[in-house]
């Protein structure tokens, strides 16, 4: 007679999270690691995956859980053969809906000045948002379709964007469960810390301020040498010049916090419509937009200080301003 009541191995993790107010608890880093390893190996049933993701969403992931998830993904990610040294890993998963993604010009400004920037993201999972890959198309920049192609773009242009679809298809499929579930899941958090090329520095944007410290401490647990996280405009890695910007970092095992000041006394109104072609127009100097220009320069300044190109905020801001003044306006 076949035993039909044997508990599924993955049920252990659902029980830990779902035993109610008094019985449930967060996963340890090891438990989170083992759970994600099973998920990525297709060793869980669809109903279990849905239950797990939503239980995690309700309680929100801890830094230990996030570190365990990232560790499992990194171990099984097929990026072992990359040979290009990347200076800055830049995640782009949120999409924009109030303002254009001016931060893209920040990354291209850095690349133009010899800094290798690898950007990864995923688009289309949330209705009504403009995603990086589509805007790059408008700028005439081809996204890579493989790690090998991304390497070649980094060598030639110091910049490459590669969709998560081509980095880790399983995680890409899980991100695209958002319209099915109606909510984001822990996958939206863990992919920001993937750093596929093992760049020496990484920068991430979040929307909910509480996640800032979770990212920071998870990076510490993962022994990431240099990482910065900020509450970016719309959840992207973009400094909003209208408000103070708290950047929380990890540098060689030490946690640090610093606040960058607002650059304007009054907030700017959001645009009535978002036209991605305005990024090229701003770069060429064909339109003037103080909010956009301050965003580009201010975001680049945060990155420059992170990677050690400047010692102070003032020096970083001045260097970013020089980059902007001296940019190649014929690029687009």
The last residue of a domain, from among 56, 76, 96: 76
Q: DSSP assignment of 165-230, as one string? A: HHH-HHHHHHHTTHHHHSS--HHHHHGGG--TT--SEEEEEESSTHHHHHHHHHHHHTT-SEEEEE
Give the pLDDT band of residue 23 (cuts 50, 70, 90).
confident
Residue with the bigger pLDDT between 180 and 162: it is: 162
**C-alpha 110 chain-centroid distance:** 17
If you search the block for the tokens 């003032």, which residue do you land on? 314
The domain total for the chain is: 2
**Under 8 Å between Cβ of 174 and 42:** no
| Residue 1 predicted with pLDDT over 90 | no
**Under 8 Å between Cβ of 148 and 113:** no
| Residue 155 predicted with pLDDT over 70 | yes
- CATH code at 155? 3.40.1030.10
Q: Considering only CA atoms, which of 259, 228, 283 is closest in space to residue 90?
A: 228
Q: Considering only CA atoms, which of 69, 64, 128, 136 is closest in space to residue 97?
A: 128
Domain co-membership, 150 together with 280 = yes
| CA–CA gap between residue 285 and residue 295 (Å, rounded) | 15
pLDDT of residue 35: 97
**Maximal C-alpha separation, the chain:** 78
Give the pLDDT band of residue 80 (cuts 50, 70, 90).
low
Domain co-membership, 68 together with 94 = no
Question: In the predicted model, what is the mean pLDDT of residues 53-59?
Answer: 91
Burial degree of 269 (CB within 10 A; 0-12, 13-18, 19+): exposed
pLDDT of residue 269: 86
pLDDT of residue 4: 63
Domain that holds residue 64: 11-76
Question: In the predicted model, what is the mean pLDDT of residues 175-202?
Answer: 89
Domain co-membership, 53 together with 131 = no
Q: Let me know if residue 1 belongs to a domain.
A: no
Q: Considering only CA atoms, which of 329, 328, 305, 205 is closest in space to residue 320?
A: 305
Domain co-membership, 274 together with 198 = yes
Residue with the bigger pLDDT between 1 and 219: it is: 219
Question: How many CB atoms are closer than 10 A to CB 148?
Answer: 12
Q: Pairing between strand 245-251 and 254-260?
A: antiparallel
Reported as a single tens digit per residue, the pLDDT across 250-295 is 999 999 999 999 999 999 988 888 899 999 999 999 999 999 999 9
Residue with the bigger pLDDT between 240 and 209: it is: 240
pLDDT of residue 136: 96
Domain co-membership, 109 together with 256 = yes
| CA–CA gap between residue 106 and residue 277 (Å, rounded) | 16
**Under 8 Å between Cβ of 123 and 133:** yes
Domain co-membership, 120 together with 172 = yes
Reported as a single tens digit per residue, the pLDDT across 291-316 is 999 999 999 999 999 999 999 999 99
Q: What is the pTM of this model?
A: 0.93
pLDDT of residue 181: 80
Question: How many CB atoms are closer than 10 A to CB 74?
Answer: 17
Q: Considering only CA atoms, which of 142, 141, 153, 100 is closest in space to residue 331?
A: 141
Domain co-membership, 97 together with 70 = no
Domain co-membership, 120 together with 55 = no
**Is residue 42 helix, strand or coil?**
coil
Reported as a single tens digit per residue, the pLDDT across 24-39 is 999 999 999 999 999 9
Domain co-membership, 47 together with 152 = no
Strands annotated E in the chain: 88-92, 117-121, 159-163, 201-206, 226-231, 245-251, 254-260
**Under 8 Å between Cβ of 194 and 67:** no
Domain co-membership, 36 together with 169 = no
Question: In the predicted model, what is the mean pLDDT of residues 41-58?
Answer: 94
- CATH code at 65? 1.20.970.10
pLDDT of residue 2: 45
Question: In the predicted model, what is the mean pLDDT of residues 119-134?
Answer: 85
Domain co-membership, 40 together with 155 = no
Q: Let me know if residue 62 belongs to a domain.
A: yes
pLDDT, mean over the chain:
93
Q: Let me know if residue 332 belongs to a domain.
A: no
Q: Let me know if residue 330 belongs to a domain.
A: no
Count CA within 13 A, CB hemisphere, residue 294.
16
pLDDT of residue 179: 78
Reported as a single tens digit per residue, the pLDDT across 100-117 is 999 999 999 999 999 999
pLDDT of residue 295: 98
pLDDT of residue 286: 96
Q: Let me know if residue 279 belongs to a domain.
A: yes
Give the pLDDT band of residue 81 (cuts 50, 70, 90).
low
Give, in order, the Cα–Cα distances in Å from 293 to each of 62, 193, 324.
36, 28, 9
Q: How many residues does the chain have?
A: 332
Question: In the predicted model, what is the mean pLDDT of residues 237-257?
Answer: 96
Q: Let me know if residue 173 belongs to a domain.
A: yes
Domain co-membership, 65 together with 190 = no
The last residue of a domain, from among 25, 49, 76: 76
The last residue of a domain, from among 34, 53, 76: 76
| CA–CA gap between residue 69 and residue 42 (Å, rounded) | 15
Structure tokens at 289: 């937009």
Q: Let me know if residue 331 belongs to a domain.
A: no
Q: Let me know if residue 46 belongs to a domain.
A: yes
| Residue 198 predicted with pLDDT over 70 | yes
């Amino acid at each position: 007679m076949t035993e039909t009541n044997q508990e599924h191995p993955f049920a252990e993790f659902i029980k830990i999270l779902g035993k109610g107010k008094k019985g449930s608890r967060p996963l340890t880093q090891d438990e989170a690691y083992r759970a994600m390893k099973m998920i990525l190996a297709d060793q869980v049933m669809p109903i279990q995956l849905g239950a797990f993701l939503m239980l995690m969403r309700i309680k929100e992931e801890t830094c230990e859980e996030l570190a365990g998830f990232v560790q499992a993904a990194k171990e099984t990610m097929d990026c072992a053969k990359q040979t290009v040294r990347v200076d800055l890993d830049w995640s782009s998963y949120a999409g924009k809906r109030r303002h254009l993604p001016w931060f893209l010009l920040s990354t291209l400004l850095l690349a133009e000045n010899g800094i290798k920037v690898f950007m990864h993201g995923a688009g289309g999972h949330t209705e009504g948002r403009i995603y990086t890959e589509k805007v790059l198309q408008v700028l005439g920049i081809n996204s890579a379709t493989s790690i090998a192609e991304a390497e070649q773009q980094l060598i030639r242009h110091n910049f490459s964007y590669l969709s998560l679809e081509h980095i880790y298809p399983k995680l890409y499929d899980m991100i695209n469960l958002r319209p099915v579930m109606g909510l984001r899941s822990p996958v939206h958090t863990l992919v920001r810390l993937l750093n596929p090329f093992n760049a020496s520095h990484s920068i991430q944007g979040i929307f909910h301020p509480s996640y800032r410290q979770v990212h920071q401490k998870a990076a510490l647990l993962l022994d990431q040498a240099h990482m910065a996280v900020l509450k970016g405009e719309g959840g992207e890695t973009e400094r909003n010049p209208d408000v103070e910007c708290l950047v929380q970092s990890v540098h060689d095992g030490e946690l640090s916090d610093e606040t960058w000041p607002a650059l304007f006394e009054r907030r700017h109104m959001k645009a009535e419509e978002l036209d991605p072609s305005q990024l090229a127009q701003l770069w060429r100097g064909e339109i003037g937009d103080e909010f956009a220009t301050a965003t580009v320069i201010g975001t680049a300044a945060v990155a420059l200080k992170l990677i050690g190109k400047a010692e102070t905020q003032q020096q970083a801001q001045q260097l970013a301003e020089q980059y902007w003044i001296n940019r190649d306006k014929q690029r687009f």
